[in-house]
Amino acid sequence: MKTWRVIDLIEWTTEYFERHEVPTPRLDAELLLGHLLQKSRLQLYLSFEMPVFQEALSKFRELIKKRIDHTPVSYLTNHKEFMALDFYVDPRVLIPRPETEILVETVLELQKEPCRFVDIGTGCGAIAISSAHHRPDWELIATDFSIEALEVAERNALNHNCADRLTLLQGDLFEPLQQLSDTHFDWIASNPPYVSVDEASTLPPDVRKHEPEVALFAGVDGLDIIRRLVTDAPQYLNTEGKLILEIGHNQSYAVQDLIKSEPAYQRCEVIQDYAGIERVVLASI
Ligand SMILES: C[S@@+](CC[C@H](N)C(=O)[O-])C[C@H]1O[C@@H](n2cnc3c(N)ncnc32)[C@H](O)[C@@H]1O
């Protein structure tokens, strides 16, 4: 019987993924094998000649099958890096995207002093927990409609030692904030669902088939949740408070119009992502 070495498995899987049109075949092969053997990619490179035995081969075959069915690598490995921190993820939450780091970086750049910060629709907790990590003196609240997502966020808060400073609340947008004695914030941040129903068929199968619908879709124009956030945020913002939102690639003008039509906002800025797409909107009271 053939003995499979690490390098053989990487090469075979890369070719198999290529044939099945997996977008990043070599990377995915390495990440999945590294996950299985509990090795970083560097360690994997240093173990090319190492034999891989039957039990691991069977498990690897299962992972390959799931990847061919478009299960995202992060759901198979239960890891995603965000703001250089390792987040636990599974199909209960959206996998945090690099674009969202721009939102967090903008907040960290502008807010050096202690503040009250709420992340609406926290998912795995990426925005709130990475902010907590960088700003130990902030008071943080994070909400989500999905109880399952909040379970994941709680796990990440514990992993990153901020569970004692992050209050997690379940409910629809601002509604759960009513449970707090102080309902006013210096920052309201959100990466809300913003995909239009019509765009569903254009999403990559990894996203369409496996990520939670409640994290993706927001009505006919994708603005159902953003509209409510823009309208309701002012009543929860302190003087000079700020609302910061991630938006879809084609929503900048529409969202700026929404903000301009709310008299409470004094200023509105748009921040581009690394691809030059207007991705984050910052509105100040
Ligand atoms: C695009 S995901 C963002 C998750 C995370 N903040 C991130 O950036 O990776 C949107 C999140 O909003 C939550 N959500 C959707 N509708 C909501 C609502 N009406 N109220 C509160 N949360 C909601 C979803 O469950 C999901 O976790």
pLDDT (tens digit, 9 = 90+) per residue, 202-259?
A: 999 999 999 999 999 999 999 999 999 999 999 999 999 999 999 999 999 999 999 9
Summarised one tens digit per residue, pLDDT across range 50-64 is 999 999 999 999 999
**Does residue 155 have a pLDDT over 80?**
yes
Judge whether 184 and 237 are in contact, CB under 8 Å: yes
Q: What atom in ligand 1 is closest to the CA of residue 172? A: 20
Residue nearest to ligand 1 atom 7, measured at CA: 96
Query: Atom 19 of ligand 1 has which residue's CA nearest to it?
Result: 172
Average pLDDT, rounded, for the chain: 97
CB 262 within 8 A of CB 234: yes
pLDDT at 77 over 90: yes
Measure 119 CA to ligand 1 centroid, in angstroms: 9
Supply the pLDDT for residue 1.
74
In short, whether 123's Cβ falls inside 6 Å of ligand 1 is yes
Sequence-separated (6 or more) residues with CB below 8 Å from residue 154: 125, 163, 168
> How many helices and strands in the chain, by DSSP H and E?
12, 11
Judge whether 145 and 121 are in contact, CB under 8 Å. Answer: yes
Q: Are strands 116-120 and 139-144 parallel, antiparallel or unpaired?
A: parallel
Q: Tell me the H-state helices in the chain.
A: 6-19, 25-37, 41-45, 54-68, 73-77, 99-110, 126-134, 147-159, 205-210, 213-216, 224-232, 252-260
Helical ranges in 170-251 per DSSP H:
205-210, 213-216, 224-232
Alpha-carbon gap, residue 68 to 132, rounded angstroms: 36
How many angstroms separate the Cα of 120 from the Cα of each of 78, 95, 185? Answer: 23, 16, 12
Chain center to CA of 32: 20
Question: 244, 107 in Cβ contact below 8 A?
Answer: yes
The alpha carbon of 192 and the centre of ligand 1 are apart by a number of angstroms equal to: 5
Q: Does 94 sit in the ligand 1 pocket, CB within 6 Å?
A: yes
For residue 81, report the distance from its CA to the centre of ligand 1, in Å.
Answer: 18
CB of 193 within 6 A of ligand 1: the answer is: yes
- Using a pLDDT cut of 70, give the percent of the chain over it: 100
Q: What is the pTM of this model?
A: 0.96
Shortest-distance atom of ligand 1 to CA 82:
9
